[in-house]
């Protein structure tokens, strides 16, 4: 099926109708909110590293985000759209998807009003959704970086970001997200990207952080005193608040807004914007209360900070299909699972108390939605019948488990391969002296006297 492109004086009016523009702004808001989520991650990481490594941490995360986003833009969206070409029986569906939707493709490089709506209906929305999925890929790279911040060297991590954004994330996304994706069409359910973001990042990050080993002074030997100290916990708390502000806007973009009909989750589940919005804030409130209780019980403020986020992550699979009271049940599980995972990694000297515990919360949420929403119609596409018929499949626990296993396997195996190959040719971890005295002073100019978190002083060096 080839696109029909009109002269500039002719237009397909339904591509630029008032309804189309309403949906355009709907997705623009969601895509832009992902960048706000990046700001939240930057603030969290800058607050939870040594002061002398704050600048390098922020720069690394921003660059990794842009690399991952750019890598996805090359052809990632083309792979994701292949699922719909298959559902609509488009001839040579895979190659046609790449012809239409790679970075130089026809549908990405012409105005919506000039493209035949019978060939590509709602193409303006798809163009904006291209950005949404691309920046989300960059966000995934930034999330993986959070697991390895303050230790990983820039060069190898930027290569990893290119591989994640350009290849690995698109594959996981194609498998697990979208109403006609291979696993979704069978019964797997995911609303906000729990598989492609949190579970994948947790598996990939765990392999990476084990290879890098803990930060110096974080896990002292018996009789020794910890010499690592965070830059600013209140800054990290502010970063979490920014994430909470961005999250509802991101969530709203994970579905189909059909004028005069309603709102459907991305897997084609019947839903409603109002209930989805309520569910997001129910998760914040319940997670915040449970996290606070755990924090006061353990005298560890980390659980109060992560409480709302952990409940949100646990519910990312299911905001579209659960009632508010059901969302509250899942939200209770989020902080509890994070607390257990946080203790588990700490006892084993694994330096990832954020991303891996949140991934465990996502796994718990996926399992719970498989149980609570078992039998809910899902999958397919509007107007289709048969194997890709509208809501022909049902959510069930077994396909949730398949998605978890597949995503963990892809994350762990890809991380092991990249870490192994890159580790053969490059140093993965920053020098111990630079880590303690400051990668900021070692990497950026002009250099100045800095005090390390261990209490030592670095001699001023001239800029080179």
pLDDT one digit per residue (tens) for the chain, 464 residues: 445 554 444 678 888 888 888 888 889 999 999 999 999 999 999 999 999 999 999 999 999 999 999 999 999 999 999 999 999 999 999 999 999 999 999 999 999 999 988 888 889 999 999 999 999 999 999 999 999 999 999 999 999 999 999 999 999 999 999 999 999 999 999 999 999 999 999 999 999 999 999 999 999 888 778 889 999 999 999 999 999 999 999 999 999 988 888 999 999 999 999 999 999 999 999 999 999 999 999 999 999 999 999 999 999 999 999 999 999 999 999 999 999 999 999 999 999 999 999 999 999 999 999 999 999 999 999 999 999 999 999 999 999 999 999 999 999 999 999 999 999 999 999 999 999 999 999 989 865 444 444 444 443 343 33
Burial class (CB in 10 A: 0-12, 13-18, 19+), 298: middle
- Measured CA distances, 348 to 191, 213, 233, 385 (Å): 33, 11, 23, 52
For residue 445, the 8-state DSSP code is: S
Query: What's the N-to-C CA distance of the chain in angstroms?
Result: 58
* Domain assignment of residue 167, yes or no: yes
* Domain assignment of residue 299, yes or no: yes
Report the C-alpha gap between 401 and 146 in whole angstroms. 26
For residue 215, the 8-state DSSP code is: P
Give the max Cα distance, the chain: 79
- Measured CA distances, 380 to 53, 124, 254, 391, 434 (Å): 48, 22, 16, 6, 53
- Looking at residue 450, its pLDDT comes to 45
- Looking at residue 461, its pLDDT comes to 40
The SS3 call for residue 265 is strand
Return the CATH number at 365: 1.10.3430.10
Peptide bond into 446 cis (omega under 30): yes
Q: Strands (DSSP E) along 274-402, which ranges?
A: 377-378, 393-394
- Looking at residue 447, its pLDDT comes to 54
Round the CA-based radius of gyration of the chain to a whole number and report it.
23
Q: Are 172 and 195 in contact (CB under 8 A)?
A: yes
Q: Are 178 and 319 in contact (CB under 8 A)?
A: no
Nearest to 422 by CA among 61, 163, 148: 163
Express each pLDDT in 7-50 by its tens digit.
444 678 888 888 888 888 889 999 999 999 999 999 999 999 99
Q: Are 179 and 185 in contact (CB under 8 A)?
A: yes
pTM for this structure?
0.92
Directed axis angle between helix 397-425 and helix 154-163, to 10°? Answer: 140
Express each pLDDT in 236-291 by its tens digit.
999 999 999 999 999 999 999 888 889 999 999 999 999 999 999 999 999 999 99
Q: Are 181 and 175 in contact (CB under 8 A)?
A: yes
Report the C-alpha gap between 464 and 462 in whole angstroms. 6
Report the C-alpha gap between 152 and 57 in whole angstroms. 10
* Domain assignment of residue 42, yes or no: yes
Where do we find the tokens 């606070």? 292
* Domain assignment of residue 370, yes or no: yes
* Domain assignment of residue 451, yes or no: no
The SS3 call for residue 26 is helix
| Count of domains forming the chain | 1
- Give backbone dihedrals phi and psi of 135, rounded to 5 degrees, phi first: -70, -30
Q: Which residues contact residue 38 at a Cβ distance below 8 angstroms, ignoring those fewer than 6 apart?
A: 61, 62, 65, 135, 138, 139, 142
Neighbours of 33 (CB within 10 A): 21
Beta strands across the sheet bearing 262-265? 255-258, 262-265, 270-271
Neighbours of 344 (CB within 10 A): 13
- Looking at residue 306, its pLDDT comes to 94
For residue 220, the 8-state DSSP code is: P
Q: Are 33 and 133 in contact (CB under 8 A)?
A: no
* Domain assignment of residue 449, yes or no: no
* DSSP track, 134-167: HHHHHHHHHHHHHHHTTTB-HHHHHHHHHHIIII
Torsion angle, alpha carbons of 242, 244, 247, 252, to 10 = -120
Q: Encoding tokens for residue 167? A: 């290849």
Q: Encoding tokens for residue 87? A: 């559902």
* Domain assignment of residue 320, yes or no: yes
Neighbours of 136 (CB within 10 A): 27
Q: Are 212 and 415 in contact (CB under 8 A)?
A: no
* Domain assignment of residue 459, yes or no: no
* DSSP track, 68-89: HHHHHHHHHHHHHHHHHHHHTT
- Is the CA virtual torsion 275, 279, 285, 290 positive or negative? positive
Domain encompassing residue 271: 13-441
Q: Are 274 and 79 in contact (CB under 8 A)?
A: no
- Looking at residue 117, its pLDDT comes to 85
Q: Which residues contact residue 149 at a Cβ distance below 8 angstroms, ignoring those fewer than 6 apart?
A: 45, 48, 49, 57, 60, 61
Report the C-alpha gap between 81 and 271 in whole angstroms. 23
């Amino acid at each position: 099926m080839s696109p029909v492109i009109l002269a500039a004086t002719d237009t397909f009016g339904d591509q630029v109708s008032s309804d189309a523009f309403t949906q355009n702004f709907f997705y623009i808001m969601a895509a832009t909110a992902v960048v706000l989520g990046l700001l939240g991650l930057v603030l969290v990481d800058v607050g939870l590293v040594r002061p002398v490594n704050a600048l390098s941490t922020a720069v690394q995360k921003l660059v990794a985000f842009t690399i991952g986003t750019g890598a996805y833009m090359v052809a990632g969206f083309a792979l994701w759209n292949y699922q719909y070409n298959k559902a609509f029986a488009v001839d040579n569906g895979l190659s046609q998807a790449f012809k239409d939707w790679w970075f130089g493709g026809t549908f990405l490089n012409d105005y919506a009003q000039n493209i035949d709506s019978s060939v590509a209906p709602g193409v303006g929305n798809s163009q904006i959704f291209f950005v949404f999925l691309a920046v989300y890929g960059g966000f995934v790279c930034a999330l993986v970086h959070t697991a390895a911040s303050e230790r990983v060297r820039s060069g190898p991590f930027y290569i990893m970001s290119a591989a994640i954004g350009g290849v690995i994330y698109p594959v996981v996304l194609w498998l697990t997200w979208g109403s006609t994706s291979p696993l979704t069409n069978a019964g797997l359910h995911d609303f906000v990207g729990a598989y492609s973001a949190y579970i994948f990042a947790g598996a990939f990050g765990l392999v990476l952080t084990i290879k890098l080993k803990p930060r110096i002074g974080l896990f002292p030997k018996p009789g020794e005193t910890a010499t690592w100290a965070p830059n600013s916990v209140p800054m990290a708390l502010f970063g979490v608040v920014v994430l909470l502000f961005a999250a509802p806007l991101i969530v709203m973009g994970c579905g189909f807004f059909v004028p005069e009909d309603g709102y459907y989750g991305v897997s084609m589940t019947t839903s409603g914007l109002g209930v989805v919005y309520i569910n997001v804030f129910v998760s914040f409130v319940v997670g915040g209360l449970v996290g606070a209780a755990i924090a006061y019980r353990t005298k560890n403020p980390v659980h109060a900070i992560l409480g709302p986020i952990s409940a949100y992550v646990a519910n990312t699979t299911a905001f579209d299909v659960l009632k508010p009271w059901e969302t509250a049940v899942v939200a209770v599980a989020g902080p509890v699972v994070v607390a257990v995972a946080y203790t588990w990694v700490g006892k084993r000297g694994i330096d990832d108390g954020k991303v891996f515990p949140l991934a465990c919360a996502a796994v718990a949420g996926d399992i719970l939605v498989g149980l609570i929403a078992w039998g809910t119609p899902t999958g397919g596409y509007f107007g289709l019948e048969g194997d890709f018929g509208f809501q022909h499949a049902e959510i069930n626990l077994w396909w949730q488990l398949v998605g978890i296993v597949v995503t963990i396997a892809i994350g762990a195996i890809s991380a092991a391969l990249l870490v192994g190959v890159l580790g053969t040719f490059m140093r993965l971890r920053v020098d111990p002296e630079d880590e303690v005295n400051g990668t900021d002073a070692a990497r950026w100019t002009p250099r100045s006297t800095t005090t390390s978190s261990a209490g030592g002083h670095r001699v001023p060096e001239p800029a080179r």
